[in-house]
Amino acid sequence: MDDASRGTTDGIRGTAHGTAPVPLSVLDLVTVGKGSTASESLRTSVALAKLAERRGYHRHWVAEHHSMPGVASSSPAVILAHLAAHTERIRLGSGGVMLPNHAPLVIAEQFGTVEALAPGRVDLGLGRAPGTDGATAAALRRSDRLNEGADDFPQQLAELTRFLDDDFPDGHPYSRIHAVPGPVQGPAGRPPIWLLGSSGFSARLAGVLGLPFAFAHHFSAQNTIPALDLYRESFRPSAVLDAPYALIGVSALASGSEREARRQVLSGALSMVQLRTGRPGLVPTPEEAEAYRFSSMEQEFVDNWLVNIVHGTPDAVRDGLNDLQKRTGADELMITSHAHSGEERLRSYGLIADAYGLPA
């Protein structure tokens, strides 16, 4: 297991800009709203990566999801390769790749390729959840043994790291297999590994292995502080880190007024209601969300969901993010925006950058 902690420290610890207390980053779900297409949303992702790079955001990650019409990020490596062609400095990565869905060799090859396209600025964030429902996960894995994939995560992680480092010991069945591109092609580094989670399992594993940890506060807020505490308590210095480094994903949207921000986040909340009740689709418009008649149970879900979305005017969002950072002690905030339109998402990231005085 110690082998899974080997890697590079490059790019893990960012530098805060402007008045931000910690680095700010972007989590991109490639959201598809009603009236739009996946092609348009992917063009928005390119525009967002360029904006993030220009304004001083530290990294731009893409999350793996499947069988969700409103989320066009089923293939992070493909999207990251495209973003690499349109950016020069910003770190790009997966937030994350769901490792049990894939053979470790495939991930090593994919991210070795992305690293070759954008040397020194690629992150490999890994999760152990399927990123979808059970039936879709079974179709991805060609197996109905879903728990086996999650339970085998530490072993899959160790195998993936061996492929990335090209260092299976002599006599191992895979000792003559090389992930290409990879170290066998030259001295280029390989992407630093991050562990992602929404509970304690990955928090503890990241700590034991001395890896950076990213927690999904945006959909598991009640577990954020316990998981971060567990990560810090479990942390052992490694070749990667000499001290814990914890990033949290947070849903945030800034607009010109509190009312308009509320309209925009309500469409994302309705999208989640539809997903949770087995009706996944494209993200509804704000007008559709305002006209929708929520049941009492749905309204309770929406109210609880919106509590954990930092939204409002740019100054209010900045203050809310600062408060969250103080409460959690997070070393980095990764902002995701689930508004209906690409224009609103781009505007929000720009307004947040303005509120923090990030470079123009």
Q: What is the pLDDT along the chain (360 residues), one digit of tens a residue?
A: 444 444 445 578 888 889 999 999 999 999 999 999 999 999 999 999 999 999 999 999 999 999 999 999 999 999 999 999 999 999 999 999 999 999 999 999 999 999 999 999 999 999 997 656 777 777 876 555 555 555 789 999 999 999 999 999 999 999 999 999 987 665 557 899 999 999 899 999 999 999 999 999 999 999 999 999 999 999 999 999 999 999 999 999 999 999 999 999 999 999 999 999 999 999 999 999 999 999 999 999 999 999 999 999 999 999 999 999 999 999 999 999 989 999 999 999 999 999 999 998
> 343 Cβ partners below 8 Å, 6+ apart?
none
In angstroms, rounded to a whole number, what is the distance separating the alpha carbons of residues 247 and 61? Answer: 12
Contacts of 44 (CB under 8 A, 6+ apart): 30, 342, 345, 346
SS3 content of the chain, % helix, strand, coil (to 5): 45, 15, 40
Residue 170, both tokens:
């002599």
**Torsional sign, CA 274, 341, 214, 68:** positive
Per the structure block, which two tokens stand in for 340? 């209906």
DSSP element (H, E) containing 109: helix 104-117
**Rounded Cα distance, 227 and 231, in Å:** 6
The residues that bridge with 248 in the sheet, in sequence order, are 215, 333
pTM of the model as a whole: 0.93
